[in-house]
C-alpha cells in the first residue's frame, strides 16, 4: 500500500476529492447530493463507504465518466498518485473523446465586444421582427 492509502473503505466525498475529480470536498458533496455521482448504478449519499471494485458514474457537464475504483485514499496527493486510485472504462473514454471532438468542431458564438443595442440597432431589430 502506498503512503496515503487507507484500509478497506472510505467516504465517497473524501475519495472523489482525493482522486481529484473535484477541487474541494464541499463541491464533491454538492455533486453527490445533486445526483451527479452514482455508485454501482444507484444514487447515494456523500457518507457512503466505497470499496475497491465499485463502479462510479460521475457527471461533470458536459462530460460523463465511468470509473472503477482501484485503490482507496482519504488524503489528496499529487495528480500522478490520484490517477492510480481509479481506472476509466474504455467505453467511457471513447464516449468522452467523441463528445470532445463534437464540441471542438461545433460553431462558437462570438461576442463582438459591443454592449446593449443602440437606438438605431433596436429599430432595425423591430423592423426585422415585424417582417418575420
What would the pLDDT profile of 28-52 be if each residue is shown by its tens digit?
Answer: 999 999 999 999 999 999 999 999 9
- Cell of residue 124, nine digits: 432595425
Q: Identify the band that residue 106 occupies on the pLDDT scale cut at 50, 70 and 90.
A: confident
Q: Could you say which DSSP state residue 121 is in? A: H
CA distance 121 to 132: 17
Residue where the block lists cell 484500509? 7
Q: Is the pLDDT of residue 5 over 70?
A: no
Q: Does residue 2 surpass a pLDDT of 50? A: no
Of 4-13, 68-77, 98-107, which has the strongest mean pLDDT?
Answer: 68-77
Rounded CA separation 69/88 (Å): 9
Residue range 103-132: average pLDDT? 82
pLDDT at 51: 94
Q: What fold characterizes domain 10-106?
A: 3.10.290
Strands 37-39 and 86-88: unpaired
Q: Is residue 86 packed enough to be buried (19+ CB in 10 Å), middle (13-18) or exposed (0-12)?
A: buried
- Kindly state the cell numbers that stand for 84: 492510480
pTM, to two decimals? 0.75
- Where in the chain are the domains? 10-106
Q: Tell me if residue 33 falls in helix, strand or coil.
A: helix
The tens digit of pLDDT for each residue in 48-87 reads 999 999 999 999 989 999 999 999 999 999 999 999 999 9
Q: Hey, what's the cell of 125? A: 431589430
Amino acid at each position: 500500500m502506498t503512503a496515503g492509502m487507507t484500509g478497506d473503505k472510505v467516504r465517497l466525498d473524501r475519495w472523489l476529492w482525493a482522486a481529484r475529480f473535484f477541487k474541494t470536498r464541499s463541491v464533491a458533496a454538492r455533486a453527490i447530493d445533486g445526483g451527479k455521482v452514482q455508485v454501482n448504478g444507484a444514487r447515494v449519499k456523500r457518507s457512503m463507504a466505497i470499496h475497491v471494485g465499485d463502479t462510479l458514474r460521475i457527471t461533470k457537464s458536459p462530460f460523463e465518466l465511468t470509473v472503477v475504483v482501484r485503490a482507496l485514499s482519504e488524503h489528496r496527493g499529487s495528480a500522478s498518485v490520484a490517477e492510480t486510485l481509479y481506472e476509466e472504462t474504455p467505453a467511457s473514454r471513447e464516449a468522452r473523446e467523441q463528445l470532445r471532438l463534437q464540441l471542438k468542431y461545433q460553431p462558437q458564438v462570438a461576442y463582438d465586444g459591443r454592449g446593449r443595442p443602440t437606438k438605431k440597432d433596436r429599430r432595425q431589430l423591430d423592423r426585422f421582427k415585424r417582417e418575420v
